[in-house]
Structure 1
Amino acid sequence: MPMMDIQDILVVDDSRVQRRHAVELCQTLGAGSVREAEDGTQCLAMVRQQTPSLLLLDLEMPRQDGVQVMQQMAKLEMAVPIVVLSSKDYLLISTVELMGRELGLPVLGGLQKPLRREPLLDLLQRVWTPRQAQQALEHCPAQEVKAALENGQILPYYQPKVQLSDGRIKGAEMLARWHHPEHGVIGPGRFIPVIEQQGWATELTMLMLKQGLKQWQSWARQGLRLPLSVNLSALSLSGDELVDEIERYMSGSNVPARYIIFEVTETAIVDNLAHAIGCAVRLRLAGLGLSVDDFGTGFATLQQLTRFPFTELKIDQSLVTGISGKPHLIAVFNSIIEMARRLQLATVAEGIESPEDYQLVAERGCHLGQGFHIARPMPAADFLAWARQKPEPPAAATIKENLS
């Protein structure tokens, strides 16, 4: 990705040497304009005067450090994309990243100083969203979203899940996309929050399942039989009719139950735990798979593994993306893999976005993976063509050698 799209970068660092280094680096990458601030106070004043496209923020500064700057920005509702910089260890940097996101700030990631070209470019290539796209994330009106659900405009895209040891395709996750008759394809960030707020999550799950079963039949006739993963909010497990409806869909489709996996989210906020567990058990008794989604976040914890009969554990992308350069994430990842092994759970790493991350999670014994490095979510027709090509991620050959 050329940095031409980043028109104005503000570099904040009390060290003149480090600041000038960062400025020159950004200029060589083609940034439109690069400004400098030598402390937090000057940074805030410059942001008020002219909102930058990107903020490179040092954490260690006198009088007002980077943490205080982020806290002030949150209070003043300054939604500027931030890259955190520090000479401290990655654990501290990651903690600040989390703090910023909890404050509602668009923190893109964190890098160690001295700043180097390749890590910065890699980070921006993975997570940078131009301002126009950020503005497009405004939520759609609820009545329009409801009409889209009713009129069949929300369709599944399929993101491949591959076996990390050899790159072979082993399944796909179904992800909702809105095919708007006027505005084209609308991403989930604009309508999924509305669906959750309005309590339509179950309706979306059933819509995805219905389409997925039909697609599975079509692919099966062409020789492709793969497990499909469908997102299911744990809040949906409170409904008395959910399992009966799923079983009706399954029996009418003739799709073997072992090919459908429900990825359960938000398990930490179930109101009627006993009822939710009962629904989950019934799904498992019907032969369906059950995956704990986003493991490692606040919604998916160790406690949930003792409550629900899961067959698969999906490791959240926050613990995977960029893991090859973060020792503390590697330590956490290793612990999760070992725990899953003892519990006899299949493991899936989400958010694999580089060959280095692919190779690391594969070498640690994770079974499956998905992410932009492997393939982006795609329409059904494109998925079939992709699966037939059976592409092998660049790191797979090395992994075979290391595991043999």
Structure 2
Amino acid sequence: MPTETLNFLVAEDHSFQRKSLVRMLKLLGAVQVAEAGDGAAALEVLQRAAIDIAIVDLNMPGMDGMELIRHLAELHSPAHIIVSSALDRALLASVETMARAYGVHLLGVIEKPATPDKLRQLIASYGPVAESQRARRAVFSEDEIRAALERREFLPYFQPKARLADGGIDSVEALARWRHPQAGVVAPGAFIDKLEGLGLIDELTWQMLEQSAAAWKAWAAQGMEFRISVNLSLSSLEQPGYADRIIFYLAEQGIGSRHFVFEITESTAMTDLPHCLENLTRLRMKGYGLSIDDFGTGYSSLQQLAQIPFSELKIDRSFVTGACASETTRTMLASSLDLAGRLGLSSVAEGVETRQDWALLKRMGCGYAQGYFMARPQSAADLPGAIARWTETHRALSAAAA
């Protein structure tokens, strides 16, 4: 989007630095630039004016930058934020994590002194609010969600996993989406928790499995074979015989076990350990892959790696995003990859969104990359086209590196 069409706000208590940022923005083509000397004044501007991008200093008197970010989250402000500060990198990384956790539209963090090049790069990443962020704010009733499940309005969208060694794609993850008749495609943040609360997550899982199996057979008929990852919930795995049900169904569909991986995300503690372990071990014994999702967060931990026969380790996006700029994050990412290698597990990095992320992961020896840099989640029909576009992108990357 052209810089001259955007409305900016600079929130900085130091007069010289504030004026310097305003001059930089105007050099970059900005026309509308508002100013605020502290967080309270900035919040007032943001409440009465349509601000597209706000550059926010952290260390301001009165309401500081962190409090301002919290208020913007509570107001569901559409403004995108660039954090500017001279604080230590580790502190800036914590603020960035905080802002994303609040759901604020964060373009990035720049260390002082800001430069036109740094600002240009972050402004260039400005765009419409992402589907997942819109969905988190959407509110649907339990009755609507229950009826949608009965009408089978939920379907899998598939996101490719690209091999870092050669860019090839042989694996995808099935991600639940709701094709709402009025709201369009709705991301899982709007319905997963309510389905779990209603005790209906197992029905959603089964619909995702059935539709993923149908997609696999359709692709195979076109000469394309992918390994599909499907998420399983703990409540499903606590059911005796659940693994047998999956094994029987996929065998009945004529799909070999090597073509499916089951991802386990632990947002809560595993309360029924014996049944969960029996189901997971049986799936692994029959040749299905098991993936520990969002490794390093919540309950996806070393203890689970020791208890469950995983074949794949998925590194949470929080250890990928910003790893190029943060030595702390990069160290944790390297440790996770080293652990996967020592345990003989395939490694997948989530949240790969830039060429720099791709290059870093390739240098570090990661196995697979998953994220918007390769492709957004796609319907089954649109997936082959998205893979073809990625193939062209990767070919250009390889040619540039040669």
TM-score (norm 2): 0.87
| Aligned match of 1:77 | 74
Instruction: Tell me how far apart the structure 2 counterparts of residues 284 and 20 of structure 1 sit (CA, whole Å).
Output: 61
Q: Is the alpha carbon distance of 1:131 and 1:99 closer, same or farther for their aligned partners in structure 2, counting shifts above 3 Å?
A: closer
The DSSP-based 3-state class of the residue aligned with 1:97 is helix
Alignment of 1:261-300 (within 5 A): 261-266=261-266, 268-300=268-300
Alignment-derived partner of residue 113 in structure 1:
112
Classify 1:123/1:200 alpha carbon distance in 2 versus 1 (closer, same or farther; 3 Å). Answer: farther
Distance in 2 of aligned mates of 1:158 and 1:35: 42
Superposition pairs for residues 283-322 of structure 1, below 5 Å? 283-322=283-322
Which residue in 2 is equivalent to 1:185? 185
Q: 1:392 to 1:43 in 2, by over 3 A?
A: closer
1:302 CA displacement: 2.4
Spell out the pairing of 1:4-403 with structure 2 (5 A cutoff): 6=6, 8-27=7-26, 33-47=32-46, 52-62=51-61, 64-70=63-69, 73=71, 77-80=74-77, 81-102=80-101, 107=106, 109-120=108-119, 122-123=121-122, 128-130=127-129, 137-266=137-266, 268-387=268-387, 390-393=391-394, 396-397=397-398
Conserved 8 A contact 2:66-2:95: yes
How far apart are the structure 2 equivalents of 1:54 and 1:199?
41
How far does residue 237 in structure 1 lie from its aligned partner after superposition?
1.6
- Structure 1 pair 320–4 and aligned structure 2 pair: CA distance change class (3 A): farther
Q: Provide Cα deviations, 1:351-399, integer angstroms capped at 9, x if missing partner.
A: 1111111011111000001111111111212212344564352685279
Asked if the contact 1:79/1:106 (under 8 Å) is kept, the reply is no
Separation in 2, partners of 1:123, 1:245: 49
Structure 1 SS opposite 2:185: strand
The one-letter amino acid paired with 1:228 is I
Between the aligned partners of 1:187 and 1:124, the Cα distance in structure 2 is 26
Does structure 1 conserve the Cα–Cα contact (< 8 Å) formed by 2:103 and 2:133?
Answer: no
- SS state of the match for residue 325, structure 1? coil
The 1:47/1:376 distance shift into structure 2, 3 A limit, reads closer
Gap runs ≥5 in structure 1: none
User: Are 2:375 and 2:387, in contact at CA under 8 Å, matched by a contact in 1?
Assistant: no
Distance 2:375 2:124 in 1: 15
CA distance 1:3–1:249, shift in 2 (3 Å): farther
Task: Please report the TM-score for the alignment, with normalisation by the length of structure 1.
Answer: 0.86
Q: 1:133 to 1:104 in 2, by over 3 A?
A: closer
Q: How far has the Cα of 1:68 moved from its partner?
A: 4.5
- Unaligned segments of structure 2, at least 5 residues: none
Q: Residues 320 and 77 (structure 1 numbering): CA distance in 2 closer, same or farther, change over 3 Å?
A: same
RMSD over aligned Cα atoms: 3.0
Q: 1:268 to 1:217 in 2, by over 3 A?
A: same
Identity of matched residues, %: 38
Q: CA deviation at 1:109?
A: 3.9
- Cα distance, 1:19 vs. partner? 1.7
1:323 is paired with a residue whose SS is coil
- 2:162 touches 2:168 (CA, 8 Å); kept in 1? yes
- Whichever residue aligns with residue 398 of structure 2, its letter is A
> Partner of 1:337: helix, strand, or coil?
helix
With over 3 angstroms needed to count, the CA separation of the structure-2 counterparts of 1:223 and 1:200, relative to structure 1, is same
Higher mean alpha-carbon deviation, 114-123 vs 277-286, is at 114-123
Residue identity in the other structure for 1:334: A
1:372–1:100 CA distance, 2 compared to 1 (3 A)? closer
Distance 1:77 1:241 in 2: 44
Give the direction of change, closer, same or farther, for the CA distance of 1:149–1:10 in structure 2 (3 Å limit).
same
Q: In the TM superposition, what whole-angstrom CA distance separates every residue of 1:210-238 from its partner, at most 9, and x where no partner exists?
A: 11111111211221111001122233322
1:262-298 superposed Cα distances (whole Å, 9 cap, x missing partner): 1111254222233222222122112111111112323
Is the alpha carbon distance of 1:251 and 1:369 closer, same or farther for their aligned partners in structure 2, counting shifts above 3 Å? same
Compute the displacement of 1:162 (Å).
Answer: 0.8
> For this pair of structures, how many residues does the alignment match?
398
Secondary structure of the 2:171 match is strand
How far apart in 2 are the matches of 1:127 and 1:367?
A: 30
Query: Offset of 1:145 from its aligned partner?
Result: 1.8
